[in-house]
Structure formats: structure tokens, C-alpha cells
Amino acid sequence: MQTKTSSFVIGMLMLITLGSCKKEISADKDDPIPETLPAIHTAVSVNVNDNCAGYYKALPARYDSSLKKYPLIVFIHGIGELGNGTTDLPNMLRAGLPRLINKKGLPPDFVVNGKRYSFVVISPQFKRWPTPDEVNNVVQYAIKNFRIDTNRVYMTGLSMGGGVTWDYSAKYGASLSAIVPICGGSFPDNKRAQQIASFNLPVWAFHNEDDATVPVSYSRDYVTKINSYKPATLAKLTTWPTGGHDSWTKAYDPAYKEDNLNMYTWMLNYQRRVSSK
């Protein structure tokens, strides 16, 4: 009798222990604990492809303590930040999202529709103006090497990077959830605009009216052409009267909002169902 009782107690303890472990893993996947610390920003030198030998990664502070998957932002830099991916990587901190993250200016999380989100941000450094295929190598590398929610993959870039964002989206827009091209150096080709519209890809473009490097007409014409094809979500454009070529500092500032949404919460309002196969 004592042996049976002991076996019963041991069995119950094992069930309780297993149940507790299962609950902890489930809770970790849901990760209800909000991020309170800035993202961890790290330079990584690795050959992603012939045109990219390094990148900056920004991971939520609790990334290693969680099993959850995170929204991804891929940031494409301007022509002034081209480099070898090793000793030139610090050039990436001059402008845009890497600069904001490095200055601890990106909030640890964002609340959208009552749910908290924190981003993984990958900022590749290219040696020369990248093709859409070379950028796609980076996107796929990020998905393979980090825990990414593939239903929430976003792209943004400034100047050259804004142009690359337009060009990439015309070919691979089906894999993206939303894009934010800033003063993008891509001529507003009608075929590319039609392709972006066909993907029903949400677009929020930014530009300064007095930009002497990339004319504001580029962003205006892209948005007009895309909307002429009546996508499910109309592309939108924000312009400011002054500021020259630098419209990115204002655009990336989390304090700048329209309809109570900054760039980041606007992105998170959109997701795309992507096959995990």
C-alpha cells in the first residue's frame, strides 16, 4: 500500500512539473512581458552576398529570453553610407534608422490594437547600389537567421535606399506588409507603380518640397500612379515645405504622427499572410 501511495505521489508530482514546464514555454511564446529597455544594436560583418559584407542588427532587449517571433524592418541606407561591411560599417550610423537606434531613440515597443510589438531591425551596408535580388538575399538571410514573423516584414530606406525600396517592392512586394520610401531616388516608372499596386502593398512616402537632390515629383508621381490602379490601400505621401534632402530625420522620429500614428505604428496596422513553406 505504501509503495502504491508513493508511486501515486511521484506520478502526480511529475504531472505537475510537466504541466508547469509546458505553461512556461507557452507563456514565453506569447511573451506578455513588455519591453522596457532599448534594442541591442550590434555591427555584424558577414558575407550575405557579393554586394553586402556586413549589417547592423537591432534586437529587442529580451530577444534571447523569448521564443516569440518579431516583426522585421529592413532599412536601406543612402549612397553616402556605401561601404565594405567591415571598417566602413560605422558610416551607417550617420543617418536614418541606424542613427536613431544607436541614440536609443527607437521606443522598446509599440502598442497597436491593444497588442505590444517590438521590432527586429536589419540595416545592411551595400558596396554599390543594390539590385532587388541583392536586397532579397538580405531579407531571406534575416528570416533564416532570426525569429521573424513573416506576416510582418516591412521595408524603408532613404535617398538611394528609398529608391531601392520602390524598386524592390515592384518585384518582391508580395512578401512585404508595408513600405516607407523616403525621398526615394527611383524614377517613377509606370510599370513599377502598377506592380506595387497589384500587390496591394501599403505605402507611406515622405519628401521635402525643396529637395534639390531627388525632386519631390518622384514621390508624388509614384503615389499618384500607384493610386490610379486603385489598390486596396491607397498610397499616401507626406511632404514638408523645407528641409532640403533630409526628410528622413523627421520621418523616422517616433514623435511625428498623422492620425495619431507614427511610421512604426502605421506599419504594424498592416500584415500579410505569407506561406511558411
Give residue limits of the domains in the chain: 38-268
Q: What is the mean pLDDT of the chain?
A: 90
Give the pLDDT of residue 185. 98
- Mode of pairing for the β-strands spanning 52-59 and 40-49: antiparallel
The label of the residue with cell 522598446 reads 108
- Mode of pairing for the β-strands spanning 204-208 and 115-117: unpaired
Give the pLDDT of residue 18. 37
Give the pLDDT of residue 29. 52
Q: Which residues of the chain have pLDDT under 70?
A: 1-32, 274-277
Q: Reduced to 3 states, what is the DSSP secondary structure of residue 117?
A: strand
Instruction: Measure the CA–CA gap between 235 and 226, rounded to whole angstroms.
Output: 7
Q: Reduced to 3 states, what is the DSSP secondary structure of residue 208?
A: strand
Give the pLDDT of residue 9. 41
pTM given for the model: 0.88
DSSP 64: G
The label of the residue with cell 519591453 reads 35
236 — phi, psi (to 5°)? -125, 155
pLDDT in tens, 232-246: 999 999 999 999 999
DSSP 215: -
Give the pLDDT of residue 34. 87
Beta-sheet strands, E only, within the chain: 40-49, 52-59, 70-76, 110-112, 115-117, 120-126, 148-158, 178-182, 204-208, 236-240
Least Cα distance to 105 among 267, 250, 268 occurs for: 250
Q: Indicate the CATH number of 38-268 among 3.50.50.60, 3.20.20.10, 3.40.50.1820, 3.90.105.10.
A: 3.40.50.1820
Give the pLDDT of residue 11. 45
